[in-house]
Amino acid sequence: MTEAQIIEYRDLTKPILPENAIGRVSRMDAINNKSVNESALRQLEQKLKDLHKVLDKAVSKDFGICVRCKKPIPVGRLMIRPESLLCVNCAR
């Protein structure tokens, strides 16, 4: 799902060509939307990177252990955010 969203956001962040016949206000809206989509794309790419780290770690004894304080990450947090490498306290 994350990979599909990344593909979608990459399409949404393509350059806005000046020859497109849209008005000035519409062009400004398109540029603003592009900026928002670029931010979402960066977040999704980081999430995917973190998910790959977690998958690599899932088979080790360190899975579910906070990388900062070395305490167990609550199961509920891992279920909501499986890419979490930090417990709630360390993530703050």
Q: How many angstroms separate the CA atoms of 62 and 76, rounded?
A: 17
Name the pTM for this structure.
Answer: 0.62
Tokens of 11: 């399409």
Backbone angles phi, psi at 91, to 5 degrees: -75, -15
Position 20 pLDDT exceeds 70: no
Spatial distance between the Cα atoms of 59 and 78, rounded to a whole number of angstroms = 15
User: What is the structure's pLDDT at 25?
Assistant: 72
- What is the per-residue pLDDT across 78-92, written as a single tens digit (0 to 9) for each? 999 888 889 999 999
**35-45: per-residue pLDDT in tens?**
999 999 999 99
Domain boundaries, the chain: 1-57, 60-92
